[in-house]
A and B are shown apart, each in its own frame.
Chain A
Amino acid sequence: MEKRARFKSAWLPYALVTPQILVTLLFFFWPAAQALYQSVLIQDSFGTTSQFVWFDNFRDLFNDANYLESFKTTAMFSIMVAFFGLSLSLILAVFADRIIKGASVYKTFLIWPYAVSPVVVGVLWLFLMNPTLGVIAHALRNIGVEWNNLLNGTHAMILIVMAAIWKQISYNFLFFLAGLQAIPKSLIEAAAIDGAGPVRRFFTIVFPLLSPTTFFLLVINIVYSFFDTFAIIEATTHGGPGKETEILVYKVFQDGFRGGDLGSSAAQSVVLMVIVITLTVLQFKYVERKVQYS
């Protein structure tokens, strides 16, 4: 779509885009180019000398068992966050869509974890699940589960998954609810007249019509678990025990800032960038499709 009515000025449009372009160049393009450049260099630990090594950093990276392990950890983590987060929010949204009285009250109570910052979420769940004094850890012990997220990798993973889901429920819930409310009531009424019960209606009509929303949320949730959960992990497990909860973003930080291995850290950033680009393209493909629907 293009505007017919335009203003004419030789300099004004440039002045208007300058602030945005300056920030973009200085803090997006320049650093991204630096990351690309550093990813083909090896630097000594003081950063004084560096050597061009082609794709050695990448080769080392993909030959490094730790890195491959981190990929697996990230995949597991994001699949669990997306699957359980989406299921739980969908159930809540379906029930909230059903009832008329009080729906907005429930909505208000369900949406505010969105406002809680990831680091706060992390500390909160660390406290609840703390092996010695956490309320939930204690309850688990009473039913025979010896909870210890400091020593047990599976427990640590469950801890970060729960914290990440808790934070993301409100976001998924809002989108599912909006999606449900956009489904034409006439379709559902027709099915009801034909004798389809609520469960059948959900699986044959509602869920298929909700699939664009679900796909969109799936991408968003994967991006979220890849990138926005850094603070949750930093506050709870530090990637441990061992390296069992060290997801890719955490490893970039750990290797680059704590370990001083700039080449490897930059190569890891480049790999992450490729992942984001793929996910963004997927997202836009979806947007295109959705525009065609309407």
Chain B
Amino acid sequence: MIERRPILDLISHLMLILGVAIVAFPIYVAFVASTQTPEQAALAPISLIPGDQFFQNYASVIVSGASGNVSVPPVARMMWVSLVSALIIAIGKITISMLSAFAIVYFRFPGRSLFFWMIFVTLMLPVEVRITPTYQVISDFGMLNSYAGLTIPLIASATATFLFRQFFLTVPDELAEAARIDGAGPMRFFKDVLWPLSRTNVIALFVIMFIYGWNQYLWPLLVSTEQSMYPIGIGIKTMIAGGDAAIEWNMVMATLILAMLPPGLVVVVMQKWFVKGLVDSEK
């Protein structure tokens, strides 16, 4: 702060509180609706005071996916599918990008720049522009309705590869030379030197990629046709598919609150790494 301007400080706080209110209000309304009876949640306008159905509503969506009109799997099952997929995507992305960045930085081999270029180009091919043919590939491999189908096409990551490449380039050459003189092979060097040094980057990327994986929608919409492989996002969409009258908004909102808990917690708890990962990977 340059000069003391108490009024401007007050305005700053008020503006930020207003900003936080705008961000929080929709979630608050969702939470309130999730604690009410179906009749209360369907009132116009809905009461902004929480109801007393918190335990009943959450217990019933978790265990049975309760929706009288549309059949959806229990939320516990859908969250499990989302969790497993998000973990496979995050860990898979980090593993394959780290290995290829290691190869590109620490070896000189024929085809090196070709591979680098191939990875680079994938930046320009988001899943949205190649959905039909990618779906075809997955279906030819018989990978529909499987974790492999849900995750593998999303695992290649140009961004993560670049991030690791940039980081490896800043690691002092002396470390690799010392390792070589000590007779350590490349994989030994990777495991004992690079991996421990990369820990911060790995955690930061993991947070970002976990959220990316958890929030997938378009791809699972194509690949998961059986209810047992529905991730939570597809489940929520299915719950509101019945039309205006049939929607049990209190149950939908309870599911919605549950769906945003894991990624929300990850962001809040790992804030420092999350910001680092975001700012680093998009630069």
Residue ranges of A at the interface with B (Cβ–Cβ < 8 Å) = 1, 3-10, 12-14, 16-17, 19-21, 23-32, 34-35, 38, 88, 91-92, 95-96, 98-100, 102, 106-120, 123-128, 130, 132-135, 138-139, 166, 169-171, 174-175, 178, 185, 188-189, 192, 198, 201, 216, 220, 227, 230-231, 234-235, 249, 252-253, 256-257, 262, 265-266, 269, 272-273, 276-277, 280, 287, 290
Contacts and interface: CB of A to CB of B under 8 A. Distances in A.
Contacts of B108: 6
A173 to B, nearest CB: 8
A43 to B, nearest CB: 11
29 contacts: A3-B173, A12-B107, A16-B100, A16-B103, A19-B95, A20-B97, A24-B122, A28-B121, A31-B125, A95-B12, A95-B19, A96-B16, A110-B19, A112-B268, A117-B263, A123-B256, A127-B29, A134-B44, A166-B23, A169-B19, A175-B282, A189-B2, A192-B2, A201-B2, A230-B218, A235-B240, A249-B129, A269-B132, A272-B128
B217 A20 contact: no
B236 A120 contact: yes
Contacts of B246: none
Interface string B134-148: 101100000000000
Nearest to B115: A17
B103 to A, nearest CB: 4
A262 B253 CA distance: 36
A38 B217 contact: no
Contacts of B26: 124-125, 128, 166
A249 B130 contact: no
Contacts of B222: 257
Interface of B: 1-3, 5, 8-9, 11-13, 15-16, 19-20, 22-24, 26-27, 29-30, 33, 42-46, 48, 95-97, 99-100, 102-109, 111-112, 115, 118-119, 121-126, 128-134, 136-137, 152-153, 155-156, 161, 169, 173-177, 180, 185-187, 189, 211, 214-218, 221-222, 233-234, 236-237, 240, 244, 249, 252-253, 256, 259-260, 263-264, 266-268, 271, 274-275, 278-279, 282-283
Given A14-B109, A38-B132, A234 B24 contact: no
Given A27-B152, A30-B133, A227 B126 contact: yes
B267 A32 contact: no
Given A98-B1, A114-B267, A256-B132, A120 B20 contact: no
A282 B19 CA distance: 31
A116 B133 contact: no
B103 A13 contact: yes
B13 A127 contact: no
Contacts of B12: 95-96, 98-99
A84 to B, nearest CB: 12
Nearest to A201: B2
List the 10 closest A-B pairs by CB distance, nearest first. Answer: A117-B215, A34-B133, A31-B133, A5-B176, A16-B103, A115-B263, A13-B107, A231-B217, A7-B186, A27-B153
Given A27-B137, A220-B282, A135 B45 contact: yes
Given A110-B23, A138-B45, A127 B253 contact: yes
A204 to B, nearest CB: 14
B19 A115 contact: no
Given A112-B264, A280-B123, 18 more contacts: A13-B104, A17-B115, A20-B97, A34-B132, A35-B133, A109-B20, A116-B260, A117-B215, A117-B263, A124-B30, A127-B253, A128-B26, A132-B44, A135-B29, A138-B44, A235-B236, A269-B132, A276-B125
A167 to B, nearest CB: 10
A186 to B, nearest CB: 11
A265 B131 CA distance: 10
A235 B239 CA distance: 11
A20 B100 contact: yes
A249 B129 CA distance: 8
Given A91-B15, A166-B26, A257-B132, A5 B169 contact: no
B102 A20 contact: no
A120 B234 CA distance: 10
B217 A230 contact: yes
Contacts of A252: 128-129, 131
Contacts of B260: 115-117, 120
Contacts of B283: 287, 290
Most B-side CB within 10 Å, residue of A25, A31, A96: A31
A3 B169 contact: yes
A115 B266 contact: yes
A281 B158 CA distance: 15
B156 A117 contact: no
B99 A20 contact: yes
Contacts of A23: 96, 152-153, 155-156
Contacts of B278: 171, 174
A62 B95 CA distance: 43
A119 B282 contact: no
A100 B4 CA distance: 12
Contacts of B19: 88, 92, 95, 106, 110, 169
A19 to B, nearest CB: 4
